[in-house]
Amino acid sequence: MRDKYDWAGKPSTDSAAVMQQYDEMAPTYDATLLQDWGYRAPAVAADLLARHVGLNSTVLDVGCGTGLTGGELKRVGFATVHGTDISQPSLEAAANKRVYESLVRANLMEPLPFADDSFDAALCVGVLSYITGDGLFRELCRIVRAGGVLVLSHRTDLVVQREFGKLLAQLAAEGLWRSVETSTNLPYLPGHPDFGTQIEVQFFILKVL
C-alpha cells in the first residue's frame, strides 16, 4: 500500500504542496523516517562532510527539516551549524533539538536570505527531489565561500530522470564548482515498501570555486 504522500512516486516540486506535506509530517517525521523506514542519510552526509572540512567550519543545513542532519553534525563534532527550511513546524522541531545556531525560514526555489560567502560548507540531504532548475545550486555556490564544500544527496532514480550529471557538468564548466567525490548507490529508505532496494541514494561532494 502506498503511504499517504506516495514518497516513492514522482515528488511534487510545488513549494506550497511540499510545505503542507512537511508541516503535517513534522510531529511524526523523526520516528517514521528513522525507526520505520531506516533513514540514515543525515548520518552518512555528516560523516562525509567531516572527511572534507574542519570541524570548526560554519555549516548550513539546507532543507534542515526537523533537524536530523543538525543532530548528526553535532555528533560528528561540528560546532557551528545553521539551518533553513520552508516548513515552520519542522523548523520548530529542529529548534527543540538545540543544535542550530540559527534557523531561518526560506523557500529554496527563491534567492536565499544569506550574504555571499557566509558559510564554509553546506549540506542538502533528502531535499533535491522537491527542487527544479539550477537556481538553488547557483545560490549555494554564492553563499558558500570559494574553497568551501557542498554535500548533496539525491535519489538514484531522479539522478537519471533529471539528468543530474548534466547539471553537475554544466556548473563545473562555468567554474562554479568541482566534483570531489561521488558515493556509490546506498540504501535510502530500506524499510519503506516502495523504496526497498529499488530506489537508493547517492551523495555528491563538491568544492565551490
Q: Exposed/middle/buried for 27, CB within 10 Å: 0-12, 13-18, 19+? A: middle
Q: Does 69 bind ligand SAM (CB under 6 A)?
A: yes
- CA angle, residues 40, 126, 189, in degrees to nearest 5: 45
Of positions 37, 87, 152, 202, contacts ligand SAM by CB under 6 A: 87
Ramachandran angles phi, psi of 158, nearest 5°: -80, -25
Stretch that binds ligand SAM, among 63-71, 164-172, 178-186, 188-196 (CB under 6 A): 63-71
Is residue 130 within the footprint of ligand SAM (CB under 6 A)? Answer: yes
Stretch that binds ligand SAM, among 105-113, 157-165, 179-187, 200-208 (CB under 6 A): 105-113
Q: Does 108 bind ligand SAM (CB under 6 A)?
A: yes
98: Cβ contacts below 8 Å, ≥ 6 apart: none
Closest contact distance (angstroms) between CB of 182 and ligand SAM is: 19
Q: How far is CA 181 from CA 138, 184, 194, in A?
A: 19, 10, 28
User: Is 91 a binder of ligand SAM (CB under 6 A)?
Assistant: no
Single-letter residue type at 49: L
Q: Give the nearer residue to ligand SAM in terms of CB position, either 95 or 172.
A: 95
- Residues 134-151, buried b or exposed e (16+ Cβ, 10 A)? eebbebbbbbbeeebbbb
Between residue 25 and residue 54, which ones bind ligand SAM under the rule CB under 6 A? Answer: 41-42
Grid cell digits, residue 17: 504542496
Confirm or reject binding of residue 112 to ligand SAM (CB under 6 A). Answer: no
Task: Answer yes or no whether residue 71 interacts with ligand SAM by CB under 6 A.
Answer: no
| Shortest distance (Å) from residue 42 CB to ligand SAM | 5
